Amino acid sequence: MRSLAFLIALAITFPHRAHAATCDTLPNPVYLQVGDTQLNLMKRLGRALRDNTPKPITLVFLTSGSCSNIAAIYTPVVIKAATSLQYVPSVAEDATWTPSSATLTCTLAGDVVPDIANSVLFNSACTSSPPPATVNLTQGPAQGYVMAVPTASSQTAITFEEAYFVFGFGAAGMIAPWIDEAQMYIRTITKGTLLAWAANITVPAAKWKGVMLDASQSVVTGVATGPTSAIGILGAEVYDANRATMKALAYRAKGQYFAYYPDSSSSSRDKKNIRDGHYTVWSPTIWMDSVDGTGAPVKPDARYVIDLIAGKTVTPPQNFGMIDIIAAVGLVPDCAMNVNRSFEGGPLSLYRPAESCTCKFESLVDTSSCATCTTSCTTGVCRNGFCEDH
Amino acid sequence: MMPRSFFTVLPLVFAAACGENGNHGDTPKDAPAPQIDAGAPDASCFTDPHTYNEIINACTTAVKVYKDSHPPLLNADGSLPPLP
C-alpha cells in the first residue's frame, strides 16, 4: 500500500521528459520561480494562458522555497542554463492533458533571472531587507495552511498550545498521539509552509522537531501512509488535492474558544473560515516582477500574468475565468476576503476589498444566495453575473 | 461588539451557530470534556466583531470543534515554557 502510494506520488510529482525542447522556443515564455504549493495554480493557469487567444503566454516554471524565490529576484540569482523547467501543453499540442496530468519539461538554453518570483507568505518572514527599487510586489490570493493526519486517526483538532509542544518539544512535549518525531512531517526552513506555521505557533523555524522534507508531496506521502501518530504540515490547496488520503485538523488559535477547519466543515471547500477570520493560519501570496527606473515592468507579459493572479483587469482581457481557476486550486482571491493582516501570523483585522467577488467565489465553491444579474442589480453591484454588495 | 452565548449538549463537535441565551462577555476556560447529557462550556461569540479577539470568536454557522486540552508542560498560570 505504502509503495503504491509512493509510486502514485512520483507519477504526479515528476514531469514528463518526453518534450525536452529548449524553453525559449515556446510561445511567449514567462519564467517563474514559485513555491511548490503553487503547482496546481501553475498547471491550470498555464493551460489557460497557452490557449488565451488574445494574448497567448507560456508559463515556464520551477518550484522552490519562498525564501529562495525572494532571493532569486532581489539579488538576483539566475536559473542556470541547462536547467529543466516545467510547462503545460496547449490544447493543440495535447487535447487530453488535464491538471492531474504531469507537466512537460523544457531545457533552459541560457541563464535567466526569473521574470516572476513568488512567495507564499509575507516576504518579511524570510528577510528583513526591503525589496530593491527594481522589484515590484503584488499581493495575490490568500493561501491557507493545515496540519494533516492519516484518515485513520481519531484526532479532529489541535490547539495553539498543543502545536507549540508538538513541534517545539517533539516527543518531550507529551502531546499524544503526536510523540513520534519520525512521524512528524515538516518542511525545510526556506519553505513558506513551515514559516507560516512557525509564525502562528511561535516556534521559530530552526527549532522545529520532525522530519524536514523538501517537497509537499513527500509530506503527503508520509502522512497518507503513516501510522495514526503521523502528522504533517501542508498548504491547504495541496491538502485539497489529496483529501482522499488524509484529513485536516481543525485549529484553535491562542485566545480562541473553538477550533475551526479552513472550510466551514471538514468536507466543504468554501474556505469560509479563512475568509472570515475563524481559521487564522493563512498568508497572502506575494508575486514579484522587475521594474525599470520609472517603475514600469521590465517584462509586460510578466505583469500581465501577475495582474491576472491578483484579480486585476488586464489588457487585452483574458478568455477564461480567473476566479474560477483560483477557486479550483483551493486559494482565496483577495476580493473574497473579509479579513487581512500586515505580517506573518499577525492579528487579523476586518477587511473590505474594493470590489467584492464573494458571491462569485461562493458560487464556485459552495452555493451562493446572491441574486444573479446581467447588467444591473436592485441592490449592490452587478459583477461576474452576481449582485455583489459592493 | 455584543457577545452572545449559547449552550449546547453536543460533545466535541458543535455544528450550530451561536444561540440566543443571554449575554456572557467572559472568555471561557477549558473545561472537562463535555458529556452527552451534560451542559457544555458556556462559550460566547460576537455578533458584530471588530477586534482580533472578537473576529476569531465571532458567531458563525461553521462547524466548531471543542477540544479539552491540558498539555502536561503548560505552566501553572497557563503560559508556555520556553522552547528547549
Cβ separation B60–A259 shorter than 8 A: no
Is any Cβ of chain A less than 8 angstroms from the Cβ of B50? yes
Cβ separation B43–A258 shorter than 8 A: yes
Q: Chain B residues with CB inside 8 Å of A349's CB?
A: 52, 55
Q: Distance of CA B29 to CAs A33, A249, A383, B41, B43, Å?
A: 45, 21, 44, 8, 9
Cβ separation B52–A347 shorter than 8 A: yes
- Does pLDDT of A8 surpass 90? no
What is the reported pLDDT for B41? 42
Cβ separation A277–B56 shorter than 8 A: yes
What is the reported pLDDT for A260? 98
| Percentage, residues of chain A above pLDDT 90 | 94
- Does pLDDT of A220 surpass 90? yes
A26-51 per-position pLDDT tens digit: 999 999 999 999 999 999 999 999 99
Q: Which of B62, B74, B84 sits opposite A264 (nearest CB)?
A: B62
Least confident of A135-144, A253-262, B9-18: B9-18
- Does pLDDT of A81 surpass 60? yes
Q: Chain B residues with CB inside 8 Å of A348's CB?
A: 52, 55-56
- Does pLDDT of B16 surpass 70? no
| Percentage, residues of chain B above pLDDT 90 | 48
Max Cα-Cα span within chain A: 62
Within 10 angstroms of residue B69's Cβ, the number of other Cβ atoms is 16
Q: Chain A residues with CB inside 8 Å of B13's CB?
A: 156
A229-249 per-position pLDDT tens digit: 999 999 999 999 999 999 999
- Does pLDDT of A345 surpass 50? yes
Phi, psi (deg, nearest 5) at residue A236: -60, -35
Q: Which of A164, A255, A261 sits opposite B56 (nearest CB)?
A: A255
Cβ separation A261–B62 shorter than 8 A: yes
- Does pLDDT of A176 surpass 60? yes
**Residues A334/A368, Cβ–Cβ less than 8 Å:** no
- Does pLDDT of B21 surpass 80? no
* Chain B residue with Cα closest to A272: B62
Cβ separation B43–A277 shorter than 8 A: no
What is the value of pTM for the model shown? 0.87
Mean pLDDT of A198-210: 98
Q: Which of A162, A207, A347 sits opposite B69 (nearest CB)?
A: A162
Is any Cβ of chain A less than 8 angstroms from the Cβ of B55? yes
* Residue B28 pLDDT class (50, 70, 90 cuts): very low
Question: Dihedral of CA A256/A274/B34/A147: which sign?
Answer: negative
* Chain B residue with Cα closest to A166: B71
Mean pLDDT of A95-104: 97
* Chain A residue with Cα closest to B14: A258
Q: Is A20 exposed, middle or buried (0-12, 13-18, 19+ CB in 10 A)?
A: exposed
What is the Cα–Cα distance from B13 to A160, expressed in whole angstroms? 18
* Residue B8 pLDDT class (50, 70, 90 cuts): very low
What is the reported pLDDT for A21? 85
Q: Distance of CA A11 to CAs A3, A14, A88, A109, Å?
A: 12, 6, 16, 26
Q: Is A249 exposed, middle or buried (0-12, 13-18, 19+ CB in 10 A)?
A: buried
What is the reported pLDDT for A368? 84
What is the reported pLDDT for B11? 39
Q: Chain A residues with CB inside 8 Å of B84's CB?
A: 168-169, 172
**Set of cell numbers at residue A151:** 484518515
What is the reported pLDDT for A279? 98
Half-sphere exposure of A25 (CA within 13 A, CB side): 8
What is the Cα–Cα distance from A269 to A279, expressed in whole angstroms? 13
- Does pLDDT of A93 surpass 90? yes
Q: Which of B13, B45, B67 sits opposite A159 (nearest CB)?
A: B67
Q: Chain B residues with CB inside 8 Å of A266's CB?
A: 63
Q: Chain A residues with CB inside 8 Å of B67's CB?
A: 156-159, 252, 259
- Does pLDDT of B20 surpass 60? no
- Does pLDDT of A16 surpass 80? no
What is the Cα–Cα distance from A326 to A274, expressed in whole angstroms? 14
Which of A257, A343, A365 is the mutation pick for testing B, counting most B CBs within 10 A? A257
Candidates A275, A381, A376; CA nearest to A334 is: A275
Q: Do the interacting molecules here have an ipTM over 0.95?
A: no
What is the reported pLDDT for A369? 87
Is any Cβ of chain A less than 8 angstroms from the Cβ of B57? yes
Q: Which of B28, B61, B71 sits opposite A165 (nearest CB)?
A: B71
- Number of CB pairs, chain A paired with chain B, less than 8 A apart: 106
Could you tell me the domains of chain A? Answer: 11-140+284-328 (3.40.190), 141-282 (3.40.190.10), 355-390 (no CATH)
Give, in degrees to the nearest 5, the angle at Cα A278 between A272 and A284.
70
A110-130 per-position pLDDT tens digit: 999 999 999 999 999 999 999
* Residue B15 pLDDT class (50, 70, 90 cuts): very low
Q: Which of A261, A276, A349 sits opposite B58 (nearest CB)?
A: A276
Compute the mean pLDDT over every residue in chain A, rounded to the nearest whole number.
Answer: 94
Mean pLDDT of A201-216: 97
